[in-house]
Amino acid sequence: MAAKHVYQRPPAGAAADWTVPQNWERFTPAEHAVWDGLIERQTRAVEGMACGAFLSGLDILRLPAPGIPDLAELNPRLRAATGWEIVPVPGVIPNEPFFRHLSERRFPAANFLRPANSLDYSVEPDMFHDLFGHLPMLADPVFADFMVAYGKAGLRAEGLDAVDQLGRLYLHTVEFGLVREHGALRVFGAGLLSSYSETVHALSAPGVQRIEFDLARVMQSDYLFDKFQRSYFVIASFEDLLKVTAETDFQPIYDRLRNQPLIASGAAVAGDRLVPLAETAAA
């Protein structure tokens, strides 16, 4: 099934910045039940595999009332933590407004939920992916600052014709990233945390590369849309990720990589520092 919520211009009902009203009252009892089932199952599933910042941030999603969060109640809790807020959008929006929202501490979240017959997999990022996968990490002050720095870098990349290179930094960290925490690997990427099976795959599957983070290597590395990744990148800390994103002059890297072939997922190159599989299970 192809993605349906991908837009090149604001659809009817969307503002110029691509935001739409949440219209929380339109969600049906069946949709609220789907949300509750997903939250209960996935929260249990990621225990022992998600990083501490994610598990702490989950508390913001635990509102008194069950069902899909009403952003009028959720956003004050997130703003109090890090100054961020969630803004509903119709689906996948173009790069420029996406980067601008991030640079101004607004996370665009899809305003639709996967159907009950697609609980294990959604063909496109939906509300569960965006809220469960991304929001808890936005409650962490350091990661929240990294996302602002990334948004600002994205606006600059727009003018340098380098969005693809920078986009791979997002995909290999924000979506599929691993972090070393108390001597073990833990997951912080939203694409992993909203998929139990890929979380297990990333941390324990043999034959998968877990590579110490290197900015240029990450930005040259291809990713897989329709199957599990064969390479994952491991950061030392969110402080390190923020520092490299906020302080690096990306243009020389863009220029160097512009005509270089992508490194396939699962391919090894000279200089890779691989994390042994045994470390993923360290206590």
Tell me the C-alpha distance between 238 and 244, whole Å. Answer: 10
Tell me the C-alpha distance between 198 and 102, whole Å. Answer: 26
* C-alpha Rg value of the chain to the nearest Å: 18
Q: How many CA atoms does the CB half-sphere of 185 hold within 13 Å?
A: 28
Tell me the C-alpha distance between 200 and 194, whole Å. Answer: 12
What stretch of H or E contains 110?
A: strand 106-110
Q: Supply the residues annotated as catalytic.
A: 129, 134, 175, 194
Note the pTM of the prediction, 2 decimals.
Answer: 0.94
- Res 62: pLDDT: 83
Please report the DSSP string for 39-90 in residue order.
HHHHHHHHTTTB-HHHHHHGGGG--SS-SSPPHHHHHHHHHHHHS-EEEEES
Domain ranges of the chain: 25-281
Q: Is-contact 143 199, C-beta < 8 A?
A: no
Cα dihedral: 72, 74, 80, 86 (round 10): -80
Per-residue pLDDT 10s for the chain (283 aa) are 456 888 889 999 999 999 999 999 999 999 999 999 999 889 998 999 999 999 999 989 887 778 999 999 999 999 999 999 999 999 999 999 999 999 999 999 999 998 877 666 666 889 999 999 999 999 999 999 999 999 999 999 999 999 999 999 999 999 999 999 998 999 999 999 988 889 999 999 999 999 999 999 999 999 998 889 999 999 999 999 999 999 999 999 999 999 899 999 999 999 999 998 766 554 3
CATH topology of domain 25-281: Phenylalanine Hydroxylase (1.10.800)
